[in-house]
Amino acid sequence: MSALKIACLAAGAVALGVAAETVYFYRRTMIRSHAKVERTMKMAGTDWSQYFDFIVGRKEYMLAQPHQDVYQTSKDGLKLHATFFPQGDKKKVAICFHGYTSQGMTDYTALSDYYLKHGFSMLLPDARAHGQSEGTYVGFGCLDRYDALGWIQWIIQECGEDVQILLHGTSMGGATVLMTGGLELPGQVKGIISDCAFTSPKEVFTHVLHSMYHLPAFPLIPLTDVLNRKLAGYGTDECNAAREAVKIRIPLLVIHGSADTFVPTAMCHEIYDNCQTKKRLLVVEGAAHAESYYKETKAYEEALDWMIEEVIK
């Protein structure tokens, strides 16, 4: 066998290997049926067992409040689900967006105590391809920002033109609210709270490959981007929360844990530095991914107090 033929065979084998690796990574990351919450929790590394009793107590109070399932249809025809907790005259509403592989009724179990006791109604959407919402491909904020606009309109129709809305997001939900903030928002949206948001799918994928798998981004990330554009209809850096932060015109609260290894803390600083509106930054020392509220509940709630005092009349 000639050297050229051997080289061609070797190159073909490498190409097949890269293609197989790309498909494997794409399926387990971007496709609903393969993206597992257990794997996400393991990668995030947060020890939730220490907060079990706290969460259970808050959940009992939350579920005892009146609530209902509500639905909307996305721009691309998906039936999306949310849970609505009406309070009082429904003129103050927090729309809360959950993280990757989670669902609306999970990530805000503890925080619901704060919002409900402060007279806020809460809307807890399931992101596309999560929970009871339809969808095959995860939106990673890039698609979810348009779904968020739909939920904002649902709240305005349900609660009236004089409603005041806060957008609160955790992890992927944090990226969602930041990306939504870069769109033209109705005047009823008064402030944005972003907790441990990533800048873009591309950048967080690159970080995970480097830090957890010790793999280079090339060629896996560019090939994943091509595949996602074809199948899901968006690029993995098509929308970047740090770039969108420049466009935000309402007050912004950015929260992150200093010990977050899943979404690096540097991302929150980039987002915060890019924002040109009234803003506040809370970095919770020693908090892992999405742990800030549990690690420093008082500091977190004081930051929320600041936001409410700034924007809610």
Kindly tell me if the per-residue pLDDT of 175 is higher than 90.
yes
Rg of the chain over Cα atoms, rounded to whole angstroms, equals 20
Single pTM value for the model: 0.95
Q: Dihedrals φ, ψ of 281, to 5°?
A: -120, 130
Q: Distance from first CA to last CA of the chain, Å, rounded?
A: 80
Q: How many angstroms separate the CA atoms of 301 and 299, rounded?
A: 6
Question: What was the pLDDT predicted at 216?
Answer: 87
**Of 94, 98, 96, 91, nearest in space to 116 by CA:** 94
% the chain with pLDDT above 70: 94
Question: What was the pLDDT predicted at 215?
Answer: 83
Give the three-class secondary structure for 201: helix
- Between 20 and 280, where is the model more confident? 280
Give the contacts of 19 (CB within 8 A, at least 6 positions apart).
Answer: 223
Question: What was the pLDDT predicted at 25?
Answer: 87
Q: How confident is the model at residue 213 (pLDDT cuts 50, 70, 90)?
A: confident
* Residue carrying structure tokens 């992101």: 127
Question: What was the pLDDT predicted at 15?
Answer: 43
Query: Which ranges constitute the DSSP H helices of the chain?
Result: 3-30, 37-44, 52-63, 104-107, 112-117, 144-159, 172-181, 201-212, 220-231, 241-245, 265-274, 292-295, 297-311
Q: How confident is the model at residue 2 (pLDDT cuts 50, 70, 90)?
A: low
Q: How confident is the model at residue 224 (pLDDT cuts 50, 70, 90)?
A: very high
Kindly tell me if the per-residue pLDDT of 117 is higher than 90.
yes
Q: Give 277: exposed, middle or buried? Use CB within 10 Å, 0-12, 13-18, 19+.
A: middle
% the chain with pLDDT above 90: 88
Q: How confident is the model at residue 1 (pLDDT cuts 50, 70, 90)?
A: low
Kindly tell me if the per-residue pLDDT of 150 is higher than 90.
yes
Q: How many angstroms separate the CA atoms of 174 and 241, rounded?
A: 9
Question: What was the pLDDT predicted at 57?
Answer: 95
Query: Range with the lowest mean pLDDT among 212-221, 278-287, 298-307?
Result: 212-221
Kindly tell me if the per-residue pLDDT of 10 is higher than 60.
no
- Residue 45: count other Cβ atoms within 10 Å of its Cβ: 14
Kindly tell me if the per-residue pLDDT of 7 is higher than 90.
no
Averaged pLDDT score across all residues of the chain: 94
- Residue 313: count other Cβ atoms within 10 Å of its Cβ: 7
